[in-house]
Amino acid sequence: MPHPCIIPWNEASARRHDKGLMHPFVGESCGANQLRLHVSVINPGEAAHPPHQHAGEEIIYLLEGQGEATIGDEKHPMQPMSALFCPEHVMHGLRNSGSTPIKYLVIRVPEIPAT
């Protein structure tokens, strides 16, 4: 049975990669069934991965830095303290368009496996 919990930042939990890092917070490991939350920090000029699409809704909330959001075939500037909502199966992504790292939250509803 899931229970409420506080999940602090933990450097050992951060997954570092050549474009920055991703720190998982909420997911199956803490008992969450319906939500996922992670924080990404991405270096200037980079994106965590190419634009993509998937089942499940997603919110990307930009905390720091300057971004360029992809929504479908269009690109849009993103400023700190703004959110990108993406319905399922819509192409989306976020690239760091500034000269300093960007930091953003990703909130997702996970894909439900077919039964």
For the chain, give me the number of helices (H) and strands (E)?
0, 9
Closest CA to 38 of 112, 108, 110: 108
Is residue 86 a contact partner of residue 76, using CB atoms and an 8 Å limit? no
Q: Is residue 78 a contact partner of residue 68, using CB atoms and an 8 Å limit?
A: yes
Q: Given pLDDT bands bounded at 50, 70 and 90, which one contains residue 13?
A: confident
Element (H or E) spanning 68, and its range? strand 67-71
Whole-prediction pTM:
0.89
pLDDT above 90 covers what percent of the chain? 77
Q: For residue 108, which of 32, 45, 42, 2 has the smallest C-alpha distance?
A: 32
Three-class secondary structure of residue 111 per DSSP:
coil
Question: What is the residue-averaged pLDDT of the chain?
Answer: 92
